[in-house]
A and B are shown apart, each in its own frame.
Chain A
Amino acid sequence: MSTVTVSRIMPKSMPQIEDILREHHELVYRSACIVTGNPDDAEDVSQTIFLRLIAERVLPKNPKAYLYRAAINGSLNVLRARRRQVLIDDNKFFEVPNGSGDPTASGHSTLDDLLSVQLHQAIAHLSPRTVEILMLRYVEDLPEPQIAKLLGRSRGTVAVTLFRALIRLRKLLRTAASGEKV
């Protein structure tokens, strides 16, 4: 996953791209969903990635690695763009209350919802490489040595990156909890 190179493909590459989409769409869409925290944004990110493949007429040598990284980078761009926008707080105004009127009845606690929003805002402050490592470790549940091998880094580098990322996230979440803008 560490090498992301692209090679020229023939103009009539649509079938190939459709094959790539079928094979890797889940990875791209899920990664984008997790990073952005919003399925609609994730769909936009996925669509743009595949459209770009057609537009640039390039086919990655390692599609999985290329698409995974593209999904994370694209999602971070969406998060950063969102940070610059003034949002009404938030979509909660437009949500239809559930039947019981109990906010926790849907199975999700409101605290988790709030934390999730703050977590995604905090993730926007991290570098793409750090987010990639976080994703591989905590979403894909890969051990550190395997992440290091995939990314072509040393195990120490991965461990330090994870350690620093957790400290940064903790700090950002603490700032958000105190009511300051992250």
Chain B
Amino acid sequence: MKRDEENLARLLRASSPSAERTELARVRILHRIRSAAASGELPNDNVIDSRSGNLWRRRALPVMVASLALLAVSAALWRSRVSDKSLGAMEGSLSSIIAGQVVRSSAGAILHLKDGSVIEMRPNSELALEPATDGLSIRLNIGSVLITAAKQHSGHLYVRTRDMTVSVVGTVFLVNAEQAGSRVAVIQGEVRVQQGESAKKLQPGEQIMSNPLMQPHPMFEEVAWSRTAKTQLALLQQAATSASLPKTAEAAQPQFAAASIRPVQGERPTRIRCRGIDGELDVASAGFTGTGVPQGRCVGGSVPLLFLVATAYDIPRERVSGPTGSEGQGA
């Protein structure tokens, strides 16, 4: 026997009771079992297991089997419900979501659509699923959703907010709907954002806001609430390394949609006024640097044209080139 084994044997044997103690225990036990047998007070076995294994395993096993059976039944029920008229189902819930039904999540939720797409709802968000002519539409009333859209075999998946429509084929993106406007950020793939008559395609890492007053947020802040935030950021990083991406859609070079300039007679007070669906900006001074301009129509009176352009497109004046002395009205 090795030394370890000798030590083990010694330690184990050291716990052996003395003959006297064993005899005393025997007498006590005999007395107790006689009393118990006479009174009929036989104990519930909570100390020993004379068969095999331990008590926990023996008691837990039936509970586990029952739980598994319940889970299997629930899954079957869930599948059957999802497969009929429902458009999807909420994770952890047996009830399915039908067309037009408003889903509110106070603590966040994950919805599984029939096509395999997954919608993660931020706490305090509200949406409804609606059938579209060529697919499915998610109407986001308020809050944020992170959508992992499955490949659409026939049709499209749309996300609609008050002022934007996003259409996707197979991608991961985030949509946020607030009182001030909507925000769309793409993590993977490509989405097409329609706002009024203008449409724009967004690439990974890009985001767009319906209201120019809304500031672009760093992507990690946008997805920080998600349970899969780490995965999403990893996806984003992967996309960023494979292609050099512009930071935001706003950073891209602006283009004129329409403009008209005409000379004015006489002195008029210097003024730039921008009016859009999301607010109004009235700048009395031509020295305005151009921040928080509502999207819509901008009119300047007696101001250098480049100031008007810089203000209207919310860009630094240094980026606008042209004769500084030009004056007029632009729209």
Cβ of B257 within 8 Å of any chain A Cβ, yes or no, is: no
Cβ of B321 within 8 Å of any chain A Cβ, yes or no, is: no
Q: Which of A26, A36, A134 contacts B22 (CB 8 A)?
A: A26
Asked if B4 and A170 make an inter-chain contact with CB atoms under 8 angstroms apart, the answer reads: yes
Q: A17-B33, A77-B54 are in contact. Are A30 and B4 (CB under 8 A)?
A: no
For the residues of B in contact with A, the DSSP-based class is: helix
Considering the chains assembled together, what is the distance between the CA atoms of A46 and B50 in angstroms? 11
Cβ of B43 within 8 Å of any chain A Cβ, yes or no, is: yes
Q: Which of B5, B17, B33, B53 contacts A33 (CB 8 A)?
A: B17
Cβ of A166 within 8 Å of any chain B Cβ, yes or no, is: yes
Q: A74-B50, A76-B54 are in contact. Are A34 and B15 (CB under 8 A)?
A: yes
Cβ of B37 within 8 Å of any chain A Cβ, yes or no, is: yes
Shortest CB distance B324–A (Å): 75
Considering the chains assembled together, what is the distance between the CA atoms of A181 and B17 in angstroms? 28
Q: Which of B11, B32, B37, B56 contacts A47 (CB 8 A)?
A: B32
**Binary interface encoding of chain B residues 16-41 relative to chain A, with 1 for a CB under 8 A from any of its CBs, else 0:** 11000110011011101110110000
**Binary interface encoding of chain A residues 138-166 relative to chain B, with 1 for a CB under 8 A from any of its CBs, else 0:** 11010000000000000000000000001
Q: Name the B residues within 8 Å of A138 (CB-CB).
A: 5, 8-9, 12-13
Chain B interface, number of residues (Cβ within 8 angstroms) = 37
- Nearest residue (CB) in B for A165 is B8
Cβ of A133 within 8 Å of any chain B Cβ, yes or no, is: no
Q: A49-B50, A73-B49, A119-B11 are in contact. Are A166 and B4 (CB under 8 A)?
A: yes
Q: Which of A39, A70, A108 contacts B50 (CB 8 A)?
A: A70
Q: A21-B26, A21-B33, A26-B22 are in contact. Are A116 and B11 (CB under 8 A)?
A: yes
**Binary interface encoding of chain B residues 216-243 relative to chain A, with 1 for a CB under 8 A from any of its CBs, else 0:** 0000000000000000000000000000
Asked if B12 and A66 make an inter-chain contact with CB atoms under 8 angstroms apart, the answer reads: no
Asked if B54 and A30 make an inter-chain contact with CB atoms under 8 angstroms apart, the answer reads: no
Q: Which of B21, B26, B50 contacts A66 (CB 8 A)?
A: B50
Q: Name the B residues within 8 Å of A52 (CB-CB).
A: 43, 45, 48, 50
Considering the chains assembled together, what is the distance between the CA atoms of A119 and B48 in angstroms? 21
Cβ of A182 within 8 Å of any chain B Cβ, yes or no, is: no
26 contacts between A and B (CB under 8 A): A4-B50, A14-B34, A21-B29, A22-B26, A22-B30, A25-B22, A25-B29, A29-B17, A29-B25, A30-B16, A34-B13, A43-B25, A44-B47, A45-B48, A46-B25, A50-B33, A52-B45, A52-B48, A54-B36, A55-B42, A55-B43, A112-B11, A116-B14, A119-B11, A119-B12, A128-B53
Q: Which residues of B contact A (CB under 8 A)?
A: 4-5, 8-9, 11-17, 21-22, 25-26, 28-30, 32-34, 36-37, 42-43, 45-56
Q: Which residues of A contact B (CB under 8 A)?
A: 4, 14, 17-18, 21-22, 25-26, 29-30, 33-34, 36-37, 39, 42-52, 54-55, 66, 69-71, 73-74, 76-78, 80, 108, 112, 115-116, 119-120, 128-129, 134-135, 138-139, 141, 166, 169-170
